[in-house]
């Protein structure tokens, strides 16, 4: 009949929306914001997901994939969890938009297993996830749009790897005092 099984179900009591003022946090592992974007290549679209620690705007996880599935954003989350080792005492909030990848059962189950507090933005409000939108915009301006076309997923992946390292360790970022995110986090 053309209908498939749902992998996401609305659970309004299990997630909350954080207020915009919560993007100002006083320590690492207090708030992670996540977002994915897409890049056109010669072979089709590839998707890039970022996990950003709001304290110093540091990218703590990322992934490039040829499909925009929950598994791909889960890989970026796993990278962040492995890199940061958040504990229950962190009361770490994980904020996303309402993308199906971030609401999928396997993704939300992993959030619970890792003791991350889910927060989902309101419908139609890009300001809700402004920090993640900003990082995606910088990524597109500083990497993707500088090259007229991308030949492959591996080309995007290598460029993203270099950019994330540069962004975290060398890019001067105004909102954190015109220093790189790694330095801001160390202070």
CATH number at residue 181: 3.30.420.10
The pLDDT assigned to 22 comes to: 54
The reply to whether 5 falls in a domain is no
Q: Which class for 3: exposed (0-12), middle (13-18), buried (19 or more C-beta within 10 A)?
A: exposed
Instruction: State whether residue 35 is helix, strand or coil.
Output: strand
Catalogue the long-range contacts made by 14-22 (C-beta closer than 8 Å, 24 or more residues apart).
Answer: 14/108, 14/118, 15/118, 15/119, 15/120, 16/117, 16/118, 16/119, 16/120, 17/119, 17/120, 17/121, 17/122, 17/128, 18/93, 18/95, 18/119, 20/127, 20/128, 20/130, 22/93
The reply to whether 3 falls in a domain is no
Q: Which domain holds residue 164?
A: 21-125+137-186
The reply to whether 2 falls in a domain is no
N- to C-terminal Cα distance for the chain? 59
Q: For residue 129, what are its two tokens?
A: 């996830």
The reply to whether 68 falls in a domain is yes
Give me the half-sphere count of Cα atoms (radius 13 Å) on the Cβ side of residue 114.
25
The reply to whether 13 falls in a domain is no
The pLDDT assigned to 6 comes to: 46
CB 149 within 8 A of CB 42: yes
* Overall domain count for the chain: 1
The pLDDT assigned to 18 comes to: 57
The pLDDT assigned to 153 comes to: 97
The pLDDT assigned to 11 comes to: 47
The pLDDT assigned to 122 comes to: 74
The reply to whether 131 falls in a domain is no
The reply to whether 16 falls in a domain is no
| Mean pLDDT (10-residue bins), the chain, 187 residues | 48 51 81 96 97 97 97 98 96 93 96 95 72 94 94 98 98 94 95
Secondary structure element (H or E) that encloses residue 80, with its range: helix 70-84
CA atoms 11, 128, 62, 94: torsion sign: negative
Secondary structure element (H or E) that encloses residue 45, with its range: strand 44-53
The reply to whether 132 falls in a domain is no
The pLDDT assigned to 34 comes to: 97
């Amino acid at each position: 009949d053309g209908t498939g099984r749902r992998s996401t179900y609305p659970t309004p009591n299990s997630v909350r929306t954080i207020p915009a003022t919560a993007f100002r946090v006083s320590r690492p592992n207090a708030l992670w914001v996540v977002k994915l974007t897409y890049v056109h290549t010669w072979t089709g679209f590839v998707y890039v997901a970022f996990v950003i620690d709001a304290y110093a705007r540091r990218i703590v996880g990322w992934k490039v994939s040829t499909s925009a599935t929950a598994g791909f954003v889960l890989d970026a989350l796993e990278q962040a969890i492995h890199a940061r080792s958040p504990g229950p005492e962190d009361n770490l909030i994980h904020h996303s938009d309402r993308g199906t990848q971030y609401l999928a059962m396997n993704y939300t189950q992993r959030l619970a297993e890792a003791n991350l507090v889910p927060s989902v933005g309101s419908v139609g409000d890009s300001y809700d996830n402004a920090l993640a939108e900003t990082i995606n915009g910088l990524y597109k301006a500083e990497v993707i749009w500088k090259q007229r076309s991308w030949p492959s997923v591996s080309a995007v992946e290598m460029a993203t790897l270099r950019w994330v390292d540069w962004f975290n360790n060398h890019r001067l970022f105004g909102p954190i005092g015109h220093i790189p995110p790694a330095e801001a986090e160390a202070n």
